[in-house]
Amino acid sequence: MGYDSEKTDTQVVTVTPSQSDADSIIRADNVKLAELGYKSEFRREFSLLETICFAFSIMGVIASVTSTLSFGLVNGGHVGMVFGWLIPCCFVMFVALSMAEMASSMPTSAGLYYFSSKLAPPRYAPLASWITGWANVTGQVTLVCGIDFTCAQMITTAIAVNTDGAVILSAGATYGILLAILFSHGIGSSSPLRLSVFGSNFYAVGTTIAAIVSLLVLSDGNRASTADAFTLFENNSGWASDGWTFMLAFTSPMWTLTGYDSAAHISEETSNAAYAAPIAIIVSVVGTATLGWLTLIATSFAIPSISNILSTDLPLPMGQVFLNVLGKRGMLAIWSFIIVVQYVTGAAQAVDASRVVFAFARDNALPGSRLWKKMSPYTQTPVNAVWFVIGASAICGVLGFSETALTSLAGLGRWAVPVGVIAVAWVSFIVVMLFFPPGQTTNAQEMNYSVVIIMAVFIFASVSWVFSARHWFRGPIRNVDDTPTTSFKE
C-alpha cells in the first residue's frame, strides 16, 4: 500500500516561515495546556489583537457607562460621576495585574477556579476551587442577564423617545425583549467564535468618541461650570453619611470593569495564549477605565442640573442627557449605536460565560456535567454550555421586575505580593459594599437582590460540599496523558 502510493503523482506543499512559526506557537500552546492537565479541544483562532478586542468588547465602555450613570448621579452627583469612577479604577488595576500574571502562567479556560486550586494550600485546594467555581459561574450567568436586560431597557428608552412618551413598555414587554436578545445570543454563541466578535471593539471606541465629542461640543450653551463639573457633591441616595454615599458610586465602574478575565477564559482558543491573555487583560482595563472617565467628564459638563436628569420618566437617565443635548433625532442616532455596542457586549459575555460553564463541567463539578461539557463536532464550541447560560440568564431576568436587581511571561516579580495584597483587600471591601441597597430604607421593588442570588448559591455550594462534593471533588481533572508530547488538534 505504501509502495503503491509512492508511484502516484506527488504534490509539493510549500510551508512559509510565517505558517511554520504559527504552527510552532500553537503546538507550544497545546503542550502548555497539557502540562496544566487538559487536552486541546478548541480551534486556536484568536491573535493578540483579537484577544484584546474580545476582552474590551465585553466591558462595552459607552454602553456600560450609559446604563450605570444613575449610580453616580444619585450617590454624589458630579463628584460621584467623575471621582466615583476614577478611584475604583486605580484599585481595579491591581486586580487586573494579579490576574494577568496568573493567566500568563496558567492559560486555561478554567480561569479563576483553576487558579484558586493551584494557589491554595493543598489541603484546602478542592474547597477553594469548588466555591470559586460556583461563584464564577453565578457571576458569569448573571452578568449575561444584566447586560442583555439593560440592552432591553435601552430599546424601551428609544421607543419612549421616538413616540414622545406615548408608548412606555411594561416590565413584561421588557422581559420579552430580553428573551429575544438572549435567544439571538444563544444562536450567535453557538457559531464559530470569529464571526461573533471580530471588530466589535473598533465600533465601541468610535461610538464612545462620538458621544464624548457631541456632549462637549453641543452642550456649549447649557452646561455645568468647570467647578461644578468636578467638585459639586449631591447626596440623593437617602443615606445619611456622605462618605458612604460616595462609595456607593463605585458601583458604576465595578459594573463596567468586569469580564476582563475573559481573556483567560478564551486562552484555549488563543494563539500564544501565555503572552496574549495577560496583555489583553491589562490593555482592556486601561482602555476602558480611560475612555469611561473621559465619557463621564463630558457627561458631567453636559448636566447643569442633577435633579432634572433624575426626575426623567425614561428608563435610563443617560437617555435624557442625550435628549437634552442633541435633541430627539440626535439622541436616537447616538442611542442606536449605543444599543448595538450593548448588544455586542452581551454577545461576547455569553461566549465568555459558556467557556466558564464548559470548564467547570469538564471537571464534573456541575449537575449534568456530561451534557454541559460536550463540544459540537461542527463548530468546536460548547453548544450545550451556551444554552445552559442562556436558560439560566432568562430565569435570572425575572428579577428585572425589581428596580435594583443587578446593581509567566507577564510576571510581576517582587511586586507580585504587594499588588496581590492590595487586590485582595479591594475585592474584599467592594464585594461587601455591592450587597447594600440604594438607600437606608427599602422595599421589595428597590431591594438589591444580588445578595439573595449570591447567598443562595453560596448556601447550595456549601451544603453540597459538606454532604457530597468533599468526598469526590478534587479540583481540576487531568484529561491528558502525563507526557506533554501528546498529539493535539491544531
In a domain, 20, yes or no: no
Q: What does the CA dihedral 444, 449, 453, 458 come to, rounded to 10 degrees?
A: -100
By three-state DSSP, how is residue 32 classified? helix
Q: Is residue 1 in some structural domain?
A: no
Dist CA 338 CA 61 (whole Å): 10
Residue 463, in any domain of the structure: yes
Sequential pLDDT tens for the chain (490 residues): 444 444 334 344 444 445 566 778 888 878 888 888 878 777 787 888 888 888 888 888 898 899 899 999 999 999 999 999 999 999 999 889 888 888 888 888 777 888 888 888 888 888 888 888 888 888 888 889 989 999 999 999 999 999 988 888 888 899 999 999 999 999 988 876 554 455 677 778 888 999 999 999 888 778 899 999 999 999 988 788 889 889 989 988 988 888 788 888 888 888 888 888 899 999 999 999 999 999 999 999 999 999 999 988 888 899 999 999 999 999 999 999 999 999 988 888 898 899 889 888 888 888 888 899 888 888 778 899 999 999 999 988 876 555 444 334 455 566 566 766 777 777 777 777 766 666 655 655 566 667 777 778 788 888 888 888 888 887 777 766 654 443 333 3
Domains in the chain: how many in total? Answer: 1
DSSP symbols for 252-284: HHHHHS--TTHHHHTGGGBTTHHHHHHHHHHHH
205 lies in a domain? yes
Report if residue 16 sits inside a domain.
no
- pLDDT for 156 equals 93
The predicted structure's pLDDT at residue 12? 41
Q: Is residue 267 part of a domain?
A: yes
Q: Are 344 and 57 contacting, i.e. CB atoms less than 8 angstroms apart?
A: yes
**pLDDT at residue 411 in the model:** 54
Task: Name the residue type at position 82.
Answer: V
User: CA–CA separation, 360 vs 373, rounded Å?
Assistant: 8
Q: Is residue 25 part of a domain?
A: no
For the CA atoms of 340, 390, 146, 364, the dihedral, rounded to the nearest 10 degrees, stands at -130
Residue 209: other Cβ atoms inside 10 A: 14
Burial of 19: CB neighbours in 10 Å, binned 0-12, 13-18, 19+: exposed
Task: Answer whether 267's CB lies under 8 Å from 109's CB.
Answer: yes
Residue 77: CATH number of its domain: 1.20.1740.10
How far is it, in rounded angstroms, from Cα 209 to Cα 167?
31
Kindly report the pTM of this predicted structure: 0.81
Alpha helices in 190-241 (DSSP H): 194-197, 200-218, 226-231
Q: How far apart are CA 154 and CA 67, in angstroms?
A: 8
Residue 35 forms part of a structural domain = no
Provide the phi-psi class of 76: left if phi over 0, else alpha when psi is between -120 and 50, else beta. left
Find the domain containing 446 and state its range. 49-471
